[in-house]
Structures are given as C-alpha cells and as structure tokens.
C-alpha cells in the first residue's frame, strides 16, 4: 500500500482520445505516490484538467472551469480542507504562463510532454502550499524534453486497467509534422515521435493480460508511425499490426487518426490480411475543394483522396469510413463548399465529424484575410451535417438482417439489456443477461435507433 493512500485525484478530460489515454497514464503515475482516482470532485485533494486547444470553444472551457474550481476550493478551505489544482494538456502547453497569470488559483501547469514528471512537480507545488499567496508561484513545465517520456512513465497498472474495461487506447505515436494551416496540434504536441516496437508490444500484452479484448492504437498521425524493432529495423503501422495480431487473446485492433498521405500499401495490405483489424477507418479529408486543400496545406487533392479510398476498398470491401470536415476556412466560396458536399457523396461515410473553422493563434491560418461570415459557416455546417446524417442513417439501415460479431462490453440502457460495438464501431443493444459481457457474440441486427443498432443474440444452436 502506498504512503498517504487516502489522497484522491479527480481528472477531468477534454478533447481527443489521446487525452483520455494520457489521463489514465497520469492516474497510473500518481497511484504510487498515494493518489487514488475518484469520480467525486468534492472529495478530491487534487483536481487535474486535461485540456484541449483545438478550437476556441474548447480552450475557453478551461477558464470557466477554473472559476468554478476556485469556488469549490474556497468552500473546502472554509471547512478546514484543501484542494490543489493543475492544468494539463494542450491549453497548458500553448498558454502556460498565461494560465498562471489569469488564474492564480492554479498550482501546476504542464504540457503533454511533461506527464512523467508529474509526481515531482506535485511535490514542488506542495512545498509552496504554505507560502504567502504573494510569494506562491505556479509550477510550470511546458518543455519538450529530450528523454523518452514513455520510457519514464510507469507501466499501466493491471488493477486499474481491469477497472477500465474490455477496450483500451494505446498511444504508439505522438505529435505532428504536417502543419495544416488551421491546426494547433504541431505546436501543442510537438514533432512526430514513434514509440519503439517492443514498448508497444509490451504495453499491448499487459492490456490483454488485464482482460482487454480490443485495442485502439493512437497517434495524431497514427499511420505515420515508424518505430524501431530490436534489430534496429524501421517498422510502419501496417507491420506493427501484423506483430500485434500475434498476441493471444487480442481480438480486435483499431487505430486513429490517419492522414491520407500516410496510408501506405503495407497498411492497406494489413487490412486485407488481418481479420482482427477492424473495417472502420477514420480518414479525415477536411474539404473537397483542391483550392482549399492547398490553402490548408493538406498536400493532396480530392481526386487523390478518392482513388486512395478505392484502393482501400479493393483490399477490404466492407471498410466503413469516417471523416472530419471544416466549413468556412478563410476564402471558402459556395463552389468550394459544394465540392465538399460532392466528396462526401462520392465517398459515402458511416460517420463524420464537422466543425466551423476556428481561428487559432499562432497558426498560419490566423493571418489569412477573407474570413467567412459566421452565419454562412452555420448554414454550411447545417447542410453538411444533414448530408452526413442521411449517410449514417443509410449505413445503419444497411446492417438490418445481417449477423455481426459484437463485442459485448456493458450493461445496456434498459434493464435486461446489454450493449456493445459492431466491427464498424456502431453501438449495438440487445436483450441479454450480463454474463454475455466480455466476449464477441454473433448478433442478428433487427432494427436501428437514432445512433445505434438493435440486435438479437444468435443462439449457438441456430448459428
């Protein structure tokens, strides 16, 4: 049992899946220092906000949350208790000093590349707790260190992993060298770094050993993964998938997010060869207009994207596609937007995420004139989402009558129901007892509801 095991940490996570992964790693790093996770903010001795900087709205949330935390801290102190507050993640990386200045309530500010130093930072912040407020300074760490963060983070804790369930994220690559002109990620996450193959395989084995059946490999540009194996060979994401496929007990593998320019033949071949590699691919294109794609610095055309999709579907005909779209990038005309609707029609998405362009300080896009008025962005977003919703509905409907392998993960929304995921990442609900949870079951799809499928267990005798 660690010392001071009575302390509690509450971590609030914003943003992408990598932040979800990072929050778990932070919890794992703090556990040996006596901090156990809690879901109850009221009982927390330490609150960490793991933040996202991707759009203006995401960033603003941090400051309003800090306002609320200040009140909560005041109440705790009035009752004789206390609470420390830390800001992690991409807002911390982008605005370190600024956060400490605007919100003196914050004890710690640290970016994604400093998580392995969290216990040390915490000790330093704690030693300041009893200082006069005028002398107290937040501990700030937004350096991009030379050392390998992952080698210094403690391994995932087995008991924590068991508590987290049957599916898990595993970061294999972090950072981005693409510099799309709208995007903050290359600045908040730093340059592309891939974890060594042995580290990835070890972590995957540990997860599977703790009962995980499905792993989603994460990276800002996960398909730019280039790890080194024991012999010093360069291993791409495709080859990594073949190696992971050999782990007994690992039943499903996914990866996200991919860049069209890094979808190489090796990865496409892995989709052809590996049944555990799920037929669902998040492959953002952002826009269907070549002019806008160029201004975004995406470095490919709409036609190249479509021919890539063709090659992928030739390898895995049932591949379901998902994408991201930005409407209202500076200079986007009606025709450019129509081109985006066209590429959506031509591709046919199972799902897609879409956003109004948000100017981000420090990105090349921030210096462009010709901003699109807000009401035009709103209208375009609405039209785009209508089209995507139709495609999603049609995709779900096309499953009715099929029997799909469903990884049953949890109790359902209704009593007597359980829920899981199809290979295409659709939520599936079915009648059944909780002993179905934990395995892949054959489920006949008998209907759809707004965002999910309704299924019926296929009995072994009938299968």
Contact partner, 419, from ligand SAH, ligand F3S, ligand SF4, none, Cβ < 5-8 Å per class? none
Q: Does 320 bind ligand SF4 (CB under 6 A)?
A: no
For residue 14, the minimal CB distance to ligand F3S (Å) is 7
Q: Which is nearer to ligand F3S, 356 or 441 (CB)?
A: 356
Residue from the set 25, 189, 195, 356 that interacts with ligand F3S by CB under 6 A: 189
For residue 181, the minimal CB distance to ligand SF4 (Å) is 8
For residue 58, the minimal CB distance to ligand F3S (Å) is 6
Q: Does 277 bind ligand SF4 (CB under 6 A)?
A: no
For residue 33, the minimal CB distance to ligand SAH (Å) is 32
Contact partner, 15, from ligand SAH, ligand SF4, ligand F3S, none, Cβ < 5-8 Å per class? ligand F3S
Residue from the set 29, 108, 180, 408 that interacts with ligand SF4 by CB under 6 A: 180
CA distance 291 to 301: 9
Q: Which is nearer to ligand SAH, 54 or 399 (CB)?
A: 54
Q: Does 284 bind ligand F3S (CB under 6 A)?
A: no
Q: For the chain, how big is the Rg over CA atoms in Å? A: 23
Chain contacts with ligand SAH (rule: CB under 6 A): 54-55, 182-183, 185, 220-221, 257, 259, 284, 286, 324, 326, 355, 357-358, 360
Q: For the sheet with 214-218, list strands across it.
A: 167-171, 214-218, 252-256
Q: Does 176 bind ligand SF4 (CB under 6 A)?
A: yes
Contact partner, 360, from ligand SF4, ligand F3S, ligand SAH, none, Cβ < 5-8 Å per class? ligand SAH
Residue from the set 37, 86, 96, 186 that interacts with ligand SF4 by CB under 6 A: 186
Q: Which is nearer to ligand SAH, 358 or 448 (CB)?
A: 358
Q: Does 406 bind ligand F3S (CB under 6 A)?
A: no
Residue from the set 46, 54, 244, 352 that interacts with ligand F3S by CB under 6 A: 54
Q: Does 183 bind ligand SF4 (CB under 6 A)?
A: yes
CB 15 within 8 A of CB 90: yes
Contact partner, 349, from ligand F3S, ligand SF4, ligand SAH, none, Cβ < 5-8 Å per class? none
Q: Does 52 bind ligand F3S (CB under 6 A)?
A: yes
Contact partner, 179, from ligand SF4, ligand F3S, ligand SAH, none, Cβ < 5-8 Å per class? ligand SF4
Q: Does 89 bind ligand F3S (CB under 6 A)?
A: yes
Q: Does 216 bind ligand SF4 (CB under 6 A)?
A: no
CA distance 203 to 200: 5
Stretch that binds ligand F3S, among 61-69, 130-138, 183-191, 297-305 (CB under 6 A): 183-191
Task: Please give the C-alpha separations between residue 89 and each of 49, 58, 197, 222, 335, in angstroms, as whole numbers.
Answer: 8, 12, 25, 19, 37
Contact partner, 18, from ligand F3S, ligand SAH, ligand SF4, none, Cβ < 5-8 Å per class? ligand F3S
Q: What's the chain look like in SS3?
A: CCCCCCEEEEEEECCCHHHHHHHHHHHHHHHHHCEEECCCHHHCCEEEEEECCCCHHHHHHHHHHHHHHHHHHHHHHHCCCCCEEEEEHHHHHHHHHHHHHHCCCCCEEECHHHHHHHHHHHHHHHHCCCCCCCCCCCEEECCCCCCCHHHHCCCCCHHHHHHHCCEEEEECEECCCCCCCCCCHHHHCCCCEECCHHHHHHHHHHHHHCCCCEEEEECCCHHHCEEECCCCCEEEHHHHHHHHHCCCCCCEEEEECCCHHHCCHHHHHHHHHCCCECCEEECCCECCCHHHHHHCCCCCCHHHHHHHHHHHHHHCCCCEEEEEEEECCCCCCHHHHHHHHHHHHHHCCCEEEEEECCCCCCCHHHHCCCCCCHHHHHHHHHHHHHHHHHHHHHHHHCCCCCEEEEEEEEECCCCCEEEEECCCCCEEEEECCHHHCCCEEEEEEEEEECCEEEEEECCCCCC
Q: Which is nearer to ligand F3S, 172 or 319 (CB)?
A: 172
Q: Which is nearer to ligand SF4, 347 or 422 (CB)?
A: 347
Residues at the contact surface with ligand F3S, assessed by CB under 6 A: 15-16, 18-19, 52-54, 89-90, 184-185, 188-189
């Amino acid at each position: 049992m660690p010392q001071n095991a009575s302390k509690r940490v509450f971590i609030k996570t914003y943003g992408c899946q990598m932040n979800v992964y990072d929050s778990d790693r932070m919890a794992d790093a703090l556990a040996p220092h006596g901090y156990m996770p809690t879901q109850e903010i009221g009982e927390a001795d330490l609150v960490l906000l793991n933040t996202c900087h991707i759009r203006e709205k995401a960033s603003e949330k941090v400051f309003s949350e800090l306002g609320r935390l200040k009140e909560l801290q005041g109440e705790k102190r009035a009752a004789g208790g206390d609470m420390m507050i830390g800001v992690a993640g991409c807002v911390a990386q982008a605005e370190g000093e600024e956060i400490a200045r605007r919100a003196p309530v914050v004890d710690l500010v640290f970016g994604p590349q400093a998580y392995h130093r969290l216990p040390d930072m915490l000790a330093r912040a704690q030693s300041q707790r009893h200082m006069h407020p005028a002398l107290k300074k937040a501990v700030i760490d937004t350096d991009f260190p030379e050392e390998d963060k992952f080698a210094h983070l403690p391994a995932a804790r087995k008991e924590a992993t068991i508590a987290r369930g049957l599916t898990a994220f595993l970061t294999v690559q972090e950072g981005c060298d693409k510099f799309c002109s709208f995007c903050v990620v290359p600045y908040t996450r730093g340059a592309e770094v891939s974890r060594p193959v042995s580290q990835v395989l070890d972590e995957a084995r540990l997860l599977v050993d703790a009962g995980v059946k499905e792993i989603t490999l994460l990276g800002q540009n996960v398909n730019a993964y280039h790890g080194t194996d024991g012999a010093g060979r360069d291993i791409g994401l495709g080859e990594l998938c073949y190696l992971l496929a050999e782990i007994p007990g690992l039943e499903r593998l996914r990866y996200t997010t991919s860049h069209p320019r890094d979808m190489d033949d090796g990865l496409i071949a892995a989709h052809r060869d590996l049944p555990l590699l799920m037929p669902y691919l998040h492959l953002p294109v952002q826009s269907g207009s070549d002019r806008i794609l160029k201004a975004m610095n995406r470095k490919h055309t709409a036609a190249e994207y479509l021919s890539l999709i063709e090659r992928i579907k030739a390898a895995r005909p049932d591949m379901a596609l998902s994408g991201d779209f930005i409407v209202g990038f500076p200079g986007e005309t009606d025709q450019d937007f129509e081109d985006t609707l066209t590429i959506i029609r031509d591709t046919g998405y199972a799902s897609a995420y879409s956003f109004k362009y948000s100017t981000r300080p420090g990105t090349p896009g921030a210096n462009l004139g010709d901003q699109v008025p807000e009401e035009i962005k709103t209208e375009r977003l609405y039209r785009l989402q209508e089209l995507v919703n139709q495609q999603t509905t049609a995709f779900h409907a096309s499953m009715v009558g099929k029997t799909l392998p469903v990884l049953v993960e949890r109790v359902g929304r209704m009593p007597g129901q359980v829920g899981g995921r199809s290979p295409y990442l659709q939520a599936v609900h079915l009648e059944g007892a909780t002993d179905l949870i934990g395995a892949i079951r054959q489920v006949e799809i008998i209907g759809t509801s707004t965002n999910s499928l309704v299924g019926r267990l296929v009995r072994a005798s009938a299968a």
